[in-house]
Structure 1
Amino acid sequence: MVVLSQPALDQISFVENQKPASYVGIPTIDLSKLESKTLLVKACEEFGFFKVVNHGIPLEFIDRLEAKVVKFFSLPQPKKEKAGPANPFGYGNKRIGPNGDVGWIEYLLFQTNANSISQRSSLLLNHYPPCPELKALSGNLTGFGEHTDPQIISVLGSNNTSGLQISLSDGSWVSVPPDHNFFVIVGDSLQV
């Protein structure tokens, strides 16, 4: 889940300093349909990215979760730090920047099963707050930078917020139209 504040969006320039057109060709998998398994495999193999609909998670639950996440990340820094440091679970924050991306990321990492000692199957909530350095810098700035996800899969909720872009097989970048559904990203581990 990504929560990006509007001031941060206004200060971030996109890949090659231009906003790509929204891409509507993203595979959409309706999980209530019998053929969803076949379409899911095809989307993983051919595209590496897809949207899921009719996933069974009530919109009211998603809205409540997003409101609580926004409320948490809006707290003063000392209050947020009481939920950390992440080791590995809890609140954490760090500066981004070694790969050409500029900014700051805050996150909450939760176990999905409190009875498990495993550090896998986790829920990560990211927040990209406005960064003072963005005001002073110019050039090809991005919110998180070009990257791949090392996991098996990433399930991303866009919070109906724009900013997410994907690279197509021809190398061109396209914006993903935001909505309240979930996007699935095939990670490096699954590709291997």
Structure 2
Amino acid sequence: MSAASIALLFAAGGVLVLVGMWFAWRARGRRDAAAAATSPAPGGETIARFPRAAYVSTTAEGAPLERIALPGLRYKGYADVTVRRDGVTIEVTGERPVHIGAARVLGTDETGMRIGKAVERGGLSLLLWRADDSHGTSEAGDDSRILESSFRFTDAAEQRRFAAAIEQILTPAACGAGDRDTHGTTQEDA
């Protein structure tokens, strides 16, 4: 075999891998689109705003290394996070804004690792929320899929301010959901 044929063979293999990755990412996007935040447009009183928070990823509860490809939350980047009385709005740079209604917000937590980022223990803030999976596409076949969106704030004071703002919008139903501790240690931190 000549060097040119070997180069062509490797190039063809590389193109096949890239095409396969593209199809897999599109399939993941279609799978996760049903869980997208479809709450009404935000309009409530602003409790706190966090400009240029580093958005890391959204993962399913208990699967910190599996990114959920939700429209508006697919890619990491800087985000403006606004906590309002009616929910949380996340605007990742270059993506469409995502509004999560207050009734779907379950609380906050802290961790040191998520897909795409590993930092000191408790260095990432998690927003815990219930997916809008009313089409029954979650693995359990119900609408109870819990997601964790992770953020890296500038300092620990911002993390505490974020947790306090989220606590102000929690509904009684969310507080009792699974009797979860909204400020505990996650499995990967234990």
Output the TM-score relative to the length of structure 2: 0.25
Which structure shows the bigger proportion of residues in helix conformation?
Answer: 2
What's the TM-score, normalizing by structure 1? 0.25
Q: Which has the larger radius of gyration?
A: 2
Of Structure 1 and Structure 2, the greater strand share is in 2
